[in-house]
């Protein structure tokens, strides 16, 4: 069974700090990796995608992928209270956009 594992948290970081969110996956055939942000009571919002090993930066967000270790992470620099949300890791093993989601990590950015 394909699995995506995340620490449920909450992960608490002070405003301005770096938040590090981690995700592991079981299917070595996985090709595409995504991070979604979900505010309470809202639907998931795509914030990052990554397809090859290494780092990908977009503004304050950096996604990191290591396929050998089956590990993907999301770094949020200069964390803001508005970043407080649940972050979902999603993985696609190459079957027509069918994503497997982790249970999410709840991030709390404190003042």
Partner 1 sequence: SAVISQKPSRDICQRGTSLTIQCQVDSQVTMMFWYRQQPGQSLTLIATANQGSEATYESGFVIDKFPISRPNLTFSTLTVSNMSPEDSSIYLCSVEAEGGAEKLFFGSGTQLSVL
Q: Which is nearer to partner 1, 42 or 77 (CB)?
A: 42
R_g of the chain computed on alpha carbons = 13
Rounded Cα distance, 50 and 91, in Å: 10
Residue 17 CB, shortest distance to partner 1, in Å, is 26
Q: Which is nearer to partner 1, 65 or 88 (CB)?
A: 88
Q: Give the binding range for partner 1 (CB under 8 A) out of 11-19, 21-29, 57-65, 94-102.
A: 94-102
- Write down the residue that tokens 């069918």 correspond to: 98
Q: With 0-12 CB in 10 A as exposed, 13-18 as middle and 19+ as buried, what is 35?
A: buried
3-state class (DSSP) for residue 79: coil
Q: Is 49 in the site for partner 1 (CB under 8 A)?
A: yes
Q: Is 26 in the site for partner 1 (CB under 8 A)?
A: no
| Interface ranges with partner 1 (CB under 8 A) | 32, 34, 42-46, 49, 51, 88, 90, 92, 96-99, 101-104
């Amino acid at each position: 069974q394909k699995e995506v594992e995340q620490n449920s948290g909450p992960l608490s970081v002070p405003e301005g700090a770096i938040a590090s969110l981690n995700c592991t996956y079981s299917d070595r055939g996985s090709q595409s990796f995504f991070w979604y942000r979900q505010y309470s009571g809202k639907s998931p919002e795509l914030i990052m995608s990554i397809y090859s090993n290494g780092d990908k930066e977009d503004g304050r967000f950096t996604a990191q992928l290591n396929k050998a270790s089956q590990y993907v992470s999301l770094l949020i620099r200069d964390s803001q209270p508005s970043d407080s949300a649940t972050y979902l890791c999603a993985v696609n093993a190459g079957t027509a956009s069918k994503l497997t989601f982790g249970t999410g990590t709840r991030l709390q950015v404190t003042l």
